[in-house]
Structure 1
Amino acid sequence: MQLVKKGFVRSFLWSMPFAILALYQGWSGNMDGVHGMLVYAGVAFFLGLTSVIYEVRHWSFKEQIFIHWNVMHVTILPLLWFGGAKPITLLQDATRLYLNFTVSGLILFTVSYFIIRMRRQVTAS
């Protein structure tokens, strides 16, 4: 239960700047900007909420990766597809967005993995 609370606090903190920017865009009359900022706020919300997956100690690292990967496909990817962050008019557009999503996820995972690994080595020594 503590991890769920921690996830909601993170998601609130990470999505708040985008919500504030959406309000500012609304006051200035830029409705496209409002829509974009709300999509980004949704992405930040789900990233903050799922960031606690890697803190569940009784799951192996492979289980954590698998669960995170699947949750991102259920939350972030549909938000990008249907949220209108990028216009999708053809199957090719949806495929391109999926490939960008996958490559971005792999890059972020790889960088995060090596940072965590280096931090553990520094704290162990």
Structure 2
Amino acid sequence: MLVINALLRGGIPFIIMGGIALLLNYQEKYSDAKSTFFASLIVFFVGAATVIYNIDHWSLTKQSVVHFLIMLITVYPILLLSGWFTIASVFDALKVFLVFVLVGVILWIVMFILAKVFSW
């Protein structure tokens, strides 16, 4: 059931955004199509990985670490290949990694607070 939930959570937005990317490509808006496609891949993996937080017998720490590792092996390479960042050296890839971690930490904190506020 976890796999099906992951595919639904990631797959539905991926199909919608992938369709938008195709439409943009047909309109010859190639740069927008490429960016939308890369964003759809990120949304797929982020959405699919949220099922980690439904594994009740795991601690929040374990859930968070596993989620981070999934994001590291999926989203981080997409960011490097997307063309959104100039990658001319290992230092550039490290800067992207720092942005990746910073955004991830901010989103984790925001989602944690929202979960606590709305968990009544």
TM-score by length of 2: 0.92
Q: Which residue of 1 aligns with 2:31?
A: 32
Matched, 1:43 2:42: yes
Q: Distance in 1 between matches of 2:19 and 2:31?
A: 15
Shift of 1:103: 0.5
| CA positional deviation for 1:15 | 1.5
Matched-pair contact (CA < 8 Å) for 1:43–1:79: yes
Count of matched residue pairs:
120
Question: What one-letter code is carried by the residue in structure 2 that aligns with 1:49?
Answer: A
Cα deviation code 1:31-88 (max 9, x no counterpart): 2222111111110110111010000011111110111111110110011112323231
Aligned residue in 2 for 1:15: 14
Bigger-Rg structure (1/2): 1
Encode CA deviations 1:74-110: one digit per residue, 9 max, x unaligned.
1100111123232311223212211111100000000
Q: Give the letter aligned to residue 33 of structure 2.
A: V
| TM-score after normalising by structure 1 | 0.89
d(CA) in 2 for partners of 1:80 and 1:90? Answer: 15
Q: Which residue of 1 aligns with 2:60?
A: 61
How far, CA to CA, are the matches of 2:104 and 2:86 in structure 1? Answer: 20
* Paired residues of 1:14 and 1:45 also in contact (CA < 8 A): yes
